[in-house]
Structure 1
Amino acid sequence: MSLNTLQDVVLIVDDDPVIRVLMRRAINHSVGNIIEASSGEEAIQLFSEHSPDLILLDVSMDKMNGFECCSVIRSLPEGDNVAIIMVTALDQPQDIQKAFDVGATDFMTKPVKWPLLSHRIHYVLKANKTIKELTKSKNKLARAQSIAHLGSWEWDFISNKLDCSDEVYRMLGMQPQEVDITFSKMLEIIHPDDREFLKLTVKTALKHRKAYDIEYRVLHDSGEVITLHDRTDITYDFGEPRINGTLHDISSRKKSEQEIAYYAFYDTLTDLPNRRKFLLQLDSAIALAKRHSTKLALLFIDLDHFKRINDTLGHKTGDELLCETATRIKSSVRISDELSVGSRVEYENEHLARLGGDEFTLLLCELEAFDNVAIIAQRVLDALSKPFVIQGQQTFISASIGISFYPDDGETGDILLQHADTAMYEVKHNGKNSYQLFSHEMHKSLMDRLKIEADLREAIRLGDQFVLYYQPQIDSENDHIVGYEALLRWNHPTRGLLAPIDFLAIAESSGLIIPIGEWALYEACSKAKQIHIADANFQRMAVNLSALQFNHANILDHVKSALTETGLPPNLLELEITESAIISNVDEAIALLFKLKELGVKLAIDDFGTGYSSLNYLKSFPIDTLKIDKSFIDEIVNNQKDAAIARTIVQLALNLELSTIAEGVEYIEQHDLLKAMGCTNLQGYLYSKPLPPEMV
């Protein structure tokens, strides 16, 4: 029998055919589909075939009575969704209780009042539909919360029990609804380091009726630690306050953030801080020394003849040698009774860094005597002069060390590092395997810097020495050129064509980058307009904004002016901004980024993964593109950690619906791997070197 599934289906179950006829007549005008069963066994069969919306079930039947039949139906799939009205001449309280115990929705006694039966059924069907919709909505919400690792809870301030969703139980390492969750129970599984923080937060919320938005860790019995984001609101039901909250499992996000932060700030080979981490430490140490009127020393350590060892014995041997070098340097600077350098052993070790290649830096703080630095420098030289046994083979190296002091040799990290580097090269020129203090006889390098700054000012005045080169950006799917990055060059009157590395740092520190950057922005937009007219596939012209440019008061006007004067559609301009420029003042940076987005331009984070890479900040920024730094691309094919970094960044971008550009692609193997990862665009010498404007 085929039933119209759009109409309600009612199953009448009674072993008396007369009763079935009377019931059918009584409800026929209000119910579309009616089916009948003369026994409990037949009723179970018909229920499995037709899934009725309501069952009129007689209690007193032969073989299987109505109680047994009701119990079986409730145990079947979809058995919880049907309304069951039990009909019987039994009217004792224990009979009615038994009906509800086996799952009856309602109970009717015989003789049946036939005129009222139709109304009764209509009411029960309507109520059951409402329950079904609520159950459906609840299940949808539960599934969505499970997928999103998001749960909800409520606390009415008066009772001790928290009303929690199933997903909250799972986050806390429990089976759904297995026990009542109280605040005391909750505190037992909170990570000990976060317990007092949560107690104080909740106490404040209860006292001041103040919502909170916090993160804390939960420690499961298995030892697993997960991080939860707990966001709340205060509501009032009938005048009574309640805390309503959501718990979000952000463990994966935290892990990704920690991994990116580690790879951004630490050298994966030696586990030492990298250049960026060290420069931050150096700036902090200088600020502390300035505040306390103390001195510090910076040692620049470069291994002698390391390239020869790498080329002769292979990179694996070279890597092991670098790791052992780091260990020996650490041992050389441990505090001893006769030295007063720093206050803690771990404080000193945190200030040893690998800048890259075979270069290390060592920062010694809170100096009481400069002689101590010479003692430590000699210790390092002695430690490194001892033979290294790598892969069963004895190897010898030495080191050249340059030393600069704060404040005597400079008051900024850049100057101190530059002077220590200069002193180290003096050692190299004088035979290596020694140390050298920076002296004012080495001041020539500073004079050269001042000469470059003066030449920059003259170049800006003349206005005809700067030129932009353009490096193509490739669509990874079809290798078509879809954009260009504008790269600054300087046609120096005596030194020839200079790359940014030769003058950009000086332009930045002197503030000359502002007029240079304004010119470059206009020039790039003008070129982009020409390309747009000739090439329908053209999608972007990427222009770098230095930290000083980005934080300049007139940057918004500069961008508006360049777009207006050149007529370039704003969506074809992509501004590349470094993380350090944004993080320096987050609130102002976010406001500026949104204003730039209102102009219609695209925004990219340049060198992503080498700066702060805070996911918490990233979700707040209106960014279109993440640009993966070349340092992660160079060894991506052979270095699993570099590949992991790139894959993490690409996946992060995909999750946030951002595009990605990998810079520094030089080999087809890099191209293939990045394409497989899902990286959107590629840039590098594999496709083209930066081109002069006439070739674009």
Structure 2
Amino acid sequence: MNKYLNLLRNGRKFNLLTKLSLLVTSAVLLVVVALGFYFNDFLKDRFLDDTQQRMQRGFVRLAYNLKEIEHELRDGIAFIGNDEKTIASVDLINKYQDKSNYNLFLIDEEKKSVVSELLSRVKLSFNSDISIYDQNGELIAFVSKDDEGYQLNFFSYEAGQRKLFRRYEQHAVYSPAQALPKGIAFTHKDYYTAEEQLLHGSSITYHRQGDDVVIRSHQSIFQGDTGKVIAHIEMSRILDKQYFANFSRDIDLDISLSFDVMKANAVLGENLSVQHIDITQSDQEYLGVLKKEIVSGVVYFVARLDKAALNAMLNASRSQFLLLLVAVAVTTLLLMRYLIRRRLELPLNSLMEQIRKIERQDYSASDEVRTGDELEDISASVNQLALAVHDRESQLQQARKEQEYLSDHDALTGLPNRRHFSKRLEHALDSTRENRAQFAVMFLDLDQFKLVNDTLGHHIGDELLVQVANRLVQQPGSGQTLARIGGDEFNILIEGVGDIQQLKEIVGQYLAQFHEPFLCAGLEIDISASIGVATFPRDGEDSVSLIKHADLAMYKSKDKGRNNYSFYSDDLAEYAQKRADMTAALKLAIEAGDQFELYYQPKTSVLTHKIDAVEALIRWRSPNFGMVPPGQFIALAEETGLIVPIGLWVLKQGLRDFLELQREGIQLEHISLNVSNVQLRNDETVAALKDVIAASGVAPDHIELEITESYIADDVNHAIGVLQSFRDMGVGLAIDDFGTGYSSMSYLKKLPVTRIKIDKSFVDGLPGSEDSITLTNSVIALAKNFGLAITAEGVELESQLVFLEQQCCDQIQGYYFSKPLPFNELKDYCRSSLKHSSKNSNVIQLQSVKSQ
């Protein structure tokens, strides 16, 4: 904007008014001088050529006008030939006109209708007359023009005698008339219909009519494709002396008609074409002739140009040229100076004032320039520009505020984002380095949030994040900053920390925010969080170290069982690296497919002390970590989603091994296989489990899936639906570790389960602990009440076995009978256990146990 203002200011310093006046005057003088010399040379050296071209242009214009007249005649007559109403009227006249018994009312009314349509066409095309003939070539009606205007004529019949009726256009009543106008014939000329063109359109002919030329268009109307003529139409234009007088005036060249062949040939000989006009001259004039063939003769168009007048014009132009230059120069200078002063100087001053207001950032509306030209448009545009600049600056300021807010806040939750948190953390570091005060960074991550997105959809996941943010934001007090840094991760800066105990209380308050479920789209979602804590300056003296160490501590909390918090310690870095290495190794193990193997722990009947089932337990023999027990990699597999392919492998391999036991004659009641909550929460994974079972070859009633109470408690209704679908297949269902963390009485009677497994923590206290006795008896009584089978896990002592036998427990699993065995050792164990009992007796005993 300032650049353009400077340009305008600099332009006015050089007196724009004077500058423009001189430029325009100089341009005018140069043009006038150049034109003067050009015309002088042209008139002097090329006068004859100009006369020839002028005549040729006149004849070309005449030829063009004649073609235009022909075109108008064709169009006018073609319209009548295509007018259905006119054709219908003529067809009616052809069919019902009886001269001896003439229907005056019917036929004459049709003829009046026809002649009215003829009038409209001849007037619309500016022609002289138009006629229509019936199928016998007799004239029906016509319109002609004389000095008083257009005449409407039609023939009627009375007692077989032809009568002509006529009225002028401005009159309403027809009256009898006597003679036909010149050029109108009662009978259609036969030689017109002989032309082949009439079969396809109209034909144009030229005629002599006294001292005038008539251009006439002819068209025959045929009945469909039969070739039968039902009418003839003719339309004419008279080229009289007045026409040529007007034409000569329009082109400033005298052109007239002549029918004198000898005179024309005496003047110009035989070369009479438009493309090449030979000019002859006398002392008084130039002459040129154009020949045109007409019906029964020839017409000549003669062009004349007065030589004396042209010479006088040339001499006058020479003598007046100097005076013209002077007059034009002076007049132009004065006029331009006056106009520029009046039309430019004052409006430009007003425009400059408008622009200066914008420069001063004054965007109020100014009085517009009223010149009625582009300057007025510019003035209006400058006002609009002022408003636009004001709006744009306002928008930019608002956008800058919004951008600053968005750059520092999370779009979903409205919490401060990573950038804001980083700035706040750097500020805290700068403030506390001087006085060595202590503050803490918390890293909070939602537990198993991915499952919410996968099972309920991302829209529910987003709503859950909003609800979590709304609840957490109520917790921070003074000196606490809560930020969402991405996904389900939150950072919390806690300043002014007095001691570790106070910090633990604050962390506990954040965890307590997750005790109540979150309501999202009508669903109650129970979710917990894991928190890692790093303190300044003990765990790091820069922002990157503090956030990294808090993150490591958070993962330690997840490994401790989630819904927990951990403080950073030096060994966490080594732990985090080991965890990352184990994740990578676990992925390679899944791809390789040969690092996992199944161990089987026998499940023994309380009645027979013989094996009647096995539970498949996975082991991972890693090239890097050696034999890895399930407790070290199952939780990691669930967190990373790798449990899905691992679980499918366990199911497939376990059923293959069970089928092999059956083929070798080892008949067991069932095989128990553990299924992760992650697998059961995904509909696609559940479908894959069902497909494996259906394709395994093992009868479904020989398969038992073990599930955890936590899966059931998360969403009882969904769990019931999924588990019932397995029961519908005939698969048995067992609740593993029953009673360890959830109140089970409320939903146990609704679940389609077939077995309860008493957790090892209850069995360990038997038979000496009153609490263990009470809990175990309660679980057994509850199972018996609902008709469920009972398995006790972790039985290692004979006293535990005796107690469970006395309480009518159905099945024992534990080291008392056997530890988990590799598959080949399991075969030997089964053969040894069953060698003293027949297959049938075992089956009878098992059925009796289930019926109790």
Q: Name the larger-Rg structure.
A: 2
The structure whose residues are more often helix, as a share, is: 2
